[in-house]
Structure 1
Amino acid sequence: MRYIKWIGAVVGVVLLGGALIFFGNFYSKNSSKVESQKSKTTVNNKITTKKGIKLTGSNSDDQYKSVIKDGNYLVGKARGVTANQNGNQYNTVNFENGLLDVARKHFSPKSYIFQEGQYLDTKTAQSWLKRKSHDNPSGLNPEDNGKTDDGRNPYYLQSIEEQDFMTQEDSTLKLKGIVLGLAMNTEDIYQKEEYGVNFTQKIEDSTRIAKGKEIAAEVVARYRKMEGISNNTPIVVAMFSQSSDDSLAGGSFYSYVESKSGTKLGDFKSINEKNVVLPMQENTKNYQDMASGLNTQFVNFQNNIQGFFPNVSYVTGTAKYNDKDVKSLKVDITTQFYSQTEMDSFSNYVAQTAPSFLPTNLSVQIRIKTVEGVQTVLVQKSNSKTYDITRLESD
């Protein structure tokens, strides 16, 4: 018996070694990479990494490959600034995702590689977002004029985001374009005294748009002076309108402009983009003609779901429109279930029911949440009538 066990152990080790070699060769052959000539392999805790630059893959033609440096994802130098500047997570999500939509129109994922912004660092970004003052001459927001009523100078610029687009040339990546997002406030919340009550100053659309153009021109001029950015590097600036902090829809992009060379800007072009919360409330009457049909579908879906399972608290959705055409729909379902079998049954029911109520000609994402967070994500691709279900494992 000892002899048999010994043989079995040897066979197991051989098989394990063969499997590791197979998967190692498979990974090596299928990983897109741009290696530096002096690449070096190091082993740490049984994880093999390589010095230099590699690229991630992409799942579809509209997804970018991105950059991995020395075994880690290359994060932006101003990472976290956008999220920290926003009091509304929906603004943050719409700002970052929408900026990629703008980028795809100028830098095709088939030809360009996405890289997190590497030119604007955190310290500089924070300085730009502050008021201009004697101590902070680089501030892009106006000086404090000392007023505490509607005559005060508000903060116009709320956030800034940089995305870089590269091409692969031999063993290096070359910068071929930059897309910048400028998030402009529609209102500014301030205090008349430290730790006092909050006041809200509304910013007129015409003022926001005019100030945004001024800031865009200044930002492009500053980028042209940064090391590594040539005079002919295309720079696209996309203008984003922030929604109020309590909005469930989040803001949207309203225009963009391109600087092909130097500091000269072309004409600003409009982006007719809107985010509509479902079911629509009385304060969204402006969208009734555009979204009434989808709203009816959503309410029927909501009633069906809430009627079938008594533990559903509420169902909400956000539809993204572009030129009055709905492009995507995101749905959140909040539940209170006490077992995994209940959650699994409910997820399967939603997947089977949704195509009968919600549009099938566009991308739909449904998140099922509890007090512990998102439990299941259901995704329907455009022009499909089936949902892929991903169940998230809890710790």
Structure 2
Amino acid sequence: MRYIKWIGAAIGVIVLGGALLFLGNYYSKNSAEVASKDTKTTVNNKVTSKKGIKLTGTATQDNYKSVIKDGNYLVGKARGITASQNDNQYNTESFENGLLNLAKNKFSPKSYIFQEGQYLDASTAKKWLNRKSNSNPDGLNPEDNGKKDDGRNPLYLQAIEEQDFMVQSSDALQLKGIMLGLAMNSEDIYQKEEYGANYTQKIDDNTRIAKGKELAAEVVKRYRKLEGVTDNTPIVVALFTEAPNDSLSGGTFYSYTESNNGDKISGFTPVNDVNVVLPMQENTFNYNEIAANLNGDFINFQNTIQGFFPNLSYITAQAQYHDKTLASLKVDVTTQFYSQTEMNSFTNYLAQTAPSMLPTDVDVQIRVKTVNGVQAVLVQKANGKSYEVIQLGATH
């Protein structure tokens, strides 16, 4: 039985967790306390001193307030748990950020407070994501049928992402809705013997879609039984296709359903999202229709910064389109810089150059990486006038 693994190294957790808070909420320096220090409030079904709970700055049409507890961002209880090792970091980013964007259609940032998932705990998530067996009757992935070829039962469900949406009522934060993301595998990597070679089992689209619908209904039933979730808590379940491990882009959401009372779910509504890797090859999906202009701008950006700093290894980007409209752009720059002064000069140059060459009407993130990991993240919010630079570590 394949055991559950935590994904990402420490730096990945910092980058992804911090980036989600920074990009999703972009909060101001002054946090608003929920109430005075000498009163009590119920948060996540636990009585907590008011002085320990804060909300980030004022919500806007695009950004949520979120929860800070005891001076730290309140992270999800089951975040980062997957059914098997996944080496594609873009899947995690697309999964988490994409679910948050879908949430805005149901839970307006002006009316709701965002909280990382607090109802599905790590222990339960591990049981659900593992295979069903005599020792684990709660497994959502199928039993191991003992086969070592394409006749085996693959792992269909890779991860579950929970996002909670709260409202402030007098002296309490109350749960008013849950977004659930189910990450479905497009392929399953397995070994015929422990520590042996890796083999890939493809999962066809029809099977993946059918299994996703079954799992969505089952997960809603289980969530209704979790402490703190009532029969009439609105639950939205969005289905996500994981990109292969060797892909240069992350997966995409393809449909969602809702449950507003009991175990009943509505029909599935399609989501028209596409990820495009830049620079593109001419046979890329909808090359001439969707991303040709962006591809040309990106190549100019690429050539400009490579001309200024010739010791760059490579520059790629993932452009996400929703209904054929650019929704976000994430750029990765890998460099061989060895000093912090070089890194500072380079990030300053990027911050000055990018606004005139990359889109300004969508969120843009630029990550600068070396062999030591991510060293800096530059962020421009949609319709922003400049990039914020977050230095994450010193180079050697």
In 2, the alpha carbon distance for the partners of 1:254 and 1:170 equals 38
Please tell me whether the aligned partners of residues 187 and 244 of structure 1 are also in contact (alpha carbons under 8 angstroms).
Answer: yes
CA drift at 1:72: 4.4
In 1, the alpha carbon distance for the partners of 2:223 and 2:94 equals 24
In 2, the alpha carbon distance for the partners of 1:268 and 1:74 equals 31
CA drift at 1:381: 3.2
In 1, the alpha carbon distance for the partners of 2:229 and 2:245 equals 35
Please tell me whether the aligned partners of residues 31 and 56 of structure 2 are also in contact (alpha carbons under 8 angstroms).
Answer: no
CA drift at 1:190: 1.0
TM-score when normalising by structure 1 = 0.82
Establish whether residue 31 from structure 1 lines up as the match of residue 24 from structure 2: no
Match runs of 1:130-145 below 5 Å: 130-145=130-145
- Give CA deviations for 1:89-144 in whole Å, capped at 9, x if unaligned: 11111111111111111111111112222221111111111111121111111112
User: In the alignment, what sits opposite 1:221?
Assistant: 221
CA drift at 1:345: 3.8
In 2, the alpha carbon distance for the partners of 1:177 and 1:234 equals 5
Name the amino acid aligned to 2:360.
T
Please tell me whether the aligned partners of residues 51 and 71 of structure 1 are also in contact (alpha carbons under 8 angstroms).
Answer: no
What SS is found at the alignment partner of 1:292?
Answer: helix
- Structure 2 unaligned runs (5+)? 1-27, 42-48
In 2, the alpha carbon distance for the partners of 1:51 and 1:113 equals 18
Q: 1:74 to 1:152 in 2, by over 3 A?
A: same
Aligned length: 360
Please tell me whether the aligned partners of residues 59 and 109 of structure 2 are also in contact (alpha carbons under 8 angstroms).
Answer: no
What SS is found at the alignment partner of 2:284?
Answer: helix
CA drift at 1:53: 3.4
Q: 163-172 vs 273-282, which deviates more?
A: 273-282
Match runs of 1:272-287 below 5 Å: 272-281=272-281, 284-285=284-285, 287=287
CA drift at 1:341: 4.5
- Give CA deviations for 1:304-326 in whole Å, capped at 9, x if unaligned: 22123222222111111111111
Q: 1:59 to 1:373 in 2, by over 3 A?
A: farther
In 2, the alpha carbon distance for the partners of 1:255 and 1:126 equals 24
User: In the alignment, what sits opposite 1:22?
Assistant: none
In 1, the alpha carbon distance for the partners of 2:349 and 2:165 equals 42
User: In the alignment, what sits opposite 2:126?
Assistant: 126
Please tell me whether the aligned partners of residues 62 and 109 of structure 1 are also in contact (alpha carbons under 8 angstroms).
Answer: yes
Share of identical aligned residues, percent? Answer: 67
User: In the alignment, what sits opposite 2:21?
Assistant: none
RMSD of equivalent CA atoms? 2.7
User: In the alignment, what sits opposite 1:169?
Assistant: 169
Q: 335-344 vs 103-112, which deviates more?
A: 335-344
In 1, the alpha carbon distance for the partners of 2:106 and 2:245 equals 31
Please tell me whether the aligned partners of residues 221 and 263 of structure 1 are also in contact (alpha carbons under 8 angstroms).
Answer: yes
Q: 1:127 to 1:292 in 2, by over 3 A?
A: same
Q: 329-338 vs 253-262, which deviates more?
A: 329-338
Name the amino acid aligned to 2:243.
S
Name the amino acid aligned to 2:125.
A
CA drift at 1:51: 5.0
Q: 304-313 vs 335-344, which deviates more?
A: 335-344
User: In the alignment, what sits opposite 2:23?
Assistant: none
What SS is found at the alignment partner of 2:105?
Answer: helix
User: In the alignment, what sits opposite 1:147?
Assistant: 147
User: In the alignment, what sits opposite 2:306?
Assistant: 306
CA drift at 1:285: 4.5
- Give CA deviations for 1:217-242 in whole Å, capped at 9, x if unaligned: 00101111222221111000011100
Name the amino acid aligned to 1:330.
K
Name the structure with the higher helix share.
1
User: In the alignment, what sits opposite 2:53?
Assistant: 53
In 2, the alpha carbon distance for the partners of 1:203 and 1:188 equals 7
TM-score when normalising by structure 2 = 0.82
In 2, the alpha carbon distance for the partners of 1:260 and 1:39 equals 30
Please tell me whether the aligned partners of residues 53 and 69 of structure 2 are also in contact (alpha carbons under 8 angstroms).
Answer: yes
Q: 1:382 to 1:142 in 2, by over 3 A?
A: same
Match runs of 1:49-128 below 5 Å: 51=51, 53-58=53-58, 60-82=60-82, 86-128=86-128
Please tell me whether the aligned partners of residues 83 and 157 of structure 2 are also in contact (alpha carbons under 8 angstroms).
Answer: no
Please tell me whether the aligned partners of residues 85 and 158 of structure 1 are also in contact (alpha carbons under 8 angstroms).
Answer: no
Name the amino acid aligned to 1:75.
V
Larger Rg: 1
In 2, the alpha carbon distance for the partners of 1:282 and 1:198 equals 31
User: In the alignment, what sits opposite 1:259?
Assistant: 259
In 2, the alpha carbon distance for the partners of 1:163 and 1:232 equals 17
User: In the alignment, what sits opposite 2:242?
Assistant: 242
